[in-house]
Copies of this chain bind each other. A is one copy, B any other.
Amino acid sequence: MKDEFVVIPKATISRLPLYFRVLSELDHVGVTIVSSEEMATKVGITSSQLRKDLSYFGGLGIRGTGYDVSYLLAKIKEILGMNQRRRLAIIGAGKLGTALAGYGGFLQHGLEVKALFDIDETKIGWKFGEIGVYHISELKRRKKEFSLDIATIAVPAAAAQQVAEMAVEVGFNAIWNFAPVRLEVPESVYVRNEDLVVGVLILSHHLTRINQ
């Protein structure tokens, strides 16, 4: 268990949000204990993989019984950082940016959109519910004001690199990038690319295989 030397596989981390969802549902309907088999089926993986994943975080289950839903849920929340609320900046108040700002599912995951940014003067001052639109030049000031943690890039591809540099400059070290470009940032900054077209092109590829 020498956990100072165990590296958590990326693949494991990427499945934790799915476990979180399944556990939330079980918790919601009053289930208190769940077996790896049952949970794995709901997620669509093998029970072996689920147990292996959870084992990286120590003995979270009870042999002969299963996993305690609320305990496991709390653990996964902790691992994913859902206890400290994450505050999102969204840069780019276009269709995508405002759609993200309006998404209702963030809060139950400990995430909150606090501010939108744009360069278009006509958009500055708009409000989407509680969320205001600020000029990009206010990024630094508003980052402090709202304790922003994550910079979401929802600007056109041509502007993305420049925006990323501004985000890094003012101290963000997590970037959620929706622009279809590879961002050049310092190694210490973590970038997650959410390139939607990639997904649909993979679908398109599969269609060619079906219809060939």
Contact = CB atoms under 8 A, between A and B. Distances in A.
Interface of A: 13-14, 16-18, 20-21, 42-44, 79-82, 84, 86, 88, 95-96, 98-100, 102-103, 105-106, 109-111, 149-150, 173-176, 180-182, 188, 190, 192, 194-208, 210
Given A80-B205, A192-B200, A203-B190, A103 B111 contact: no
A40 B197 CA distance: 20
A188 to B, nearest CB: 8
Contacts of A88: 200
Given A105-B180, A200-B192, A207 B150 contact: yes
Closest 6 CB pairs of A and B: A99-B99, A81-B208, A81-B204, A95-B99, A190-B206, A17-B198
Contacts of A82: 201, 204
A203 B20 CA distance: 15
Nearest to A188: B210
Given A95-B99, A106-B200, 17 more contacts: A14-B198, A16-B201, A17-B201, A18-B198, A43-B182, A79-B208, A80-B204, A81-B201, A82-B201, A86-B200, A86-B204, A111-B201, A111-B204, A174-B204, A174-B207, A175-B203, A194-B199
Contacts of A200: 86, 88, 106, 109, 111, 150, 176, 192
A166 to B, nearest CB: 18
Contact of A109 (B21, B95, B197): B197
Nearest to A193: B199
A88 B190 CA distance: 32
A192 B202 contact: yes
Given A43-B182, A103-B96, A196-B194, A79 B109 contact: no
